[in-house]
Structure 1
Amino acid sequence: MNFDDTPQEAAFRAEVRAWIDANAPKELEAELKQATFGNSGLTSGDPIALAKAWQKKKAEAGWACLHWPKEYGGRGATPIERVIWGQEEGVYGSLGGLFIIGHGMCGPTLMAWASEEQKRKLLPPLASGEEVWCQLFSEPAGGSDLAGLRTRAERADDGSGDWIIRGQKIWTSGAQNSDYGILITRTDPDVPKHKGLTMFWLSMKSPGVEIRPIKQANGQSGFNEVFFTDVRIPDAQRLGAVGQGWTVSLTTLMNERLSIGSGMPTGFPELFDYCLNLETEDGPAVDNAMVRSRLAQYAVKASGLKYTGMRAISALSKGETPGPENSIGKLVAGASMQELAMFALDLQGETGVINDPRHAEAAQKFQAMLLRSPATRVEGGTDEILRNIIAERVLGLPGDIRVDKDVPFKDIPTSGKR
């Protein structure tokens, strides 16, 4: 394979590089280089305001959501041009973390299922960072079984055609900073669980929506519980037909695994640099045979993730929808991050317990990575779910036994008793 730029790609790269050099917030570069997974590293200003300012500047110059159509706030760029932009944006790309769900998951779902009028209204401010979106899927009682959700949507009894939402979501990233969200609900409990779902979009400022941030092990509060108490949604905000929610959600999920898997760091570059500079009792860490062996293993995984991601880019360049094979990147990256962080802390010895970036070795990068890494193996599909997807839909192996497949949702037992 030849990964050199074509003349057209080289010209595009030069244009990107010139614009970033002239417009990037270089005063933030040093702080952004100290970012840890789950923490932007920004202390000189409001991280949300700084992220929105950079996204707005990109949008005004035509660099926001490059692969989106121009009429929806994008540039109509090719997948490879999108890759080139990411390479050249470099450290400033971490400012876009606030928008990853909206741009990577909600936006593609709206493009596939919203009306043309809604797309032209909702997508440009989403692309420009003016509005932030979240994804309201997971529930406390469902675990890994998304189709087991219990948040109900019922028609209002006033003849308006509106829907009344009651229930709870959990694990909703960024809900506290979001203006809108896409919401999957149960509208028919009398049919099997995958067939009785319906998808909507709504304002997170709607009466009856309550957001409660969850304190995480790493000290952050990126995830939330969201409660719905008699929330009214017009039928015009439905995505897809009534009962078609599972099909609509697959659009979101396939894009989710592509977005998370392709953008999830493993920490390998940081570990490699750390080992190059770490002095042990026996000399430089990188000269140790055991350390070199582990680095080689991590390098192989990082390379595999890179080229698996390029396969996805190739598929997108042909107009294909992200498929189940994108579960591979997320599955491998999440487990690698946790394993790599634990190895780095082993190398740090007793200083590995220090969780203060001012005093910890490697500015606490690996401590933050370890504390955040369990979430990476749950969000966007647990390891177990992803293994099933890869086994069944990529490798063609027999599916799991699903005793509730054809059972009406209302008849599925929720405990040892019916």
Structure 2
Amino acid sequence: MIDIAAIRQQFPVLNRLVKGKPLVYLDNAATAQKPQVVIDALVNYYSQYNANIHRGIHTLAEEATAAFEDTRNAVQQLLHADSREEIIFTRGTTEGINLVAYTWGRQNIGKGDEIIISGMEHHSNIVPWQVLCAEKEAVLKIVPVNDNGELEMEAFHSLLSDKTKLVSICQISNSLGTINPVKEIIKAAHAAGAITLIDGAQSTVHLDIDVQDLDCDFFACSAHKLYGPTGVGVLYGKKAILEAMPVFMGGGEMIKEVSYQHFTPNELPYKFEAGTPNIADVVAFKAAIEFVNGIGKSAIAAHEAALLEYAAEQLTPIKEVRMIGRARNRASVLSFVVEGAHPQDLGIILDNQGIAVRTGHHCCQPLMDRFAIPGTTRASFAVYNTKEEVDALAKGLQKAIKMLL
């Protein structure tokens, strides 16, 4: 059992007041708060060894390079990748997905080819494929979602064909918390001759990730949902696939040699890391990984599952509340509507009580259309949240309902 009080003490922001009330932060699916060790790592880089990496021979450059590459090693272990060359740093999950679309996609997708995504994808796993399909005259197919917020797996299997070239699916829905059976999806996609991309933006913080066991071809995630800094993400790709892909951006570091006539790309992973990267935040990301590892993902998941169950128990009896998404396998997200009240109005009233939730379509507008709603109010939980905060949410919601209805 983990000591939540001790964990909360490591997060400075949790001590502040919002509108004169203690902060209740329940917007973790958007971004998690940062423990002091991450903040310290960021400050330490800028105050002690700020320098550009890889090409400098002076002490600060060598220290910065070592710290940057130490994080790559930590990410390799976090995702259980086969080699560190398969770990590419990006600005976030969105850039990782776009990198695949702009490189592998433009190299391998042609007229009449098919790409499959699901009906619960974030816009960042919809729009890049729409752009690619429009350019290549390919076809985008959607796995439908049932009333419980689960993928209709029979429909998925029926969509697969010899025209399917890519299946790109989120492992956990950011708006519903549904945990998708991605291992089954990957196996079926490979049997059809397609490659796979898993959007791990939500799953990396909640689940143990083993990309080799999953056998996914690509896996994208972000640091900021894993208690790390914003502006840092990771794209994992199988080495052979990455080596065959064209470069994404041109510039420094991504070349081995260059003349006015031609260039030779660098070795992996630097082939896809053009320009000066977000060094400080990559360095601090390692501190976030160590923070999570120190507690243990299984312990974190158990705590979050207990909170999710407790929150459902507290909010379900409120007759005006209707839950959106009742998947049997869920993680850390409670999404709901109040009939007759706009989610934004609920969010404002809750904020006036110091309670931070997310409202709107959560960058999942087609999914909201599926449920015929403009959006939801979403409470999402992290390791530092408590049952007392859930009680505050329930009380605050009841107050909001009285004011609005």
TM-score, length of structure 2 as denominator length:
0.28
Q: Which has the higher strand share?
A: 2
Q: Which has the higher helix share?
A: 1
Greater relative CO (CA pairs within 8 A, separation 6+):
2
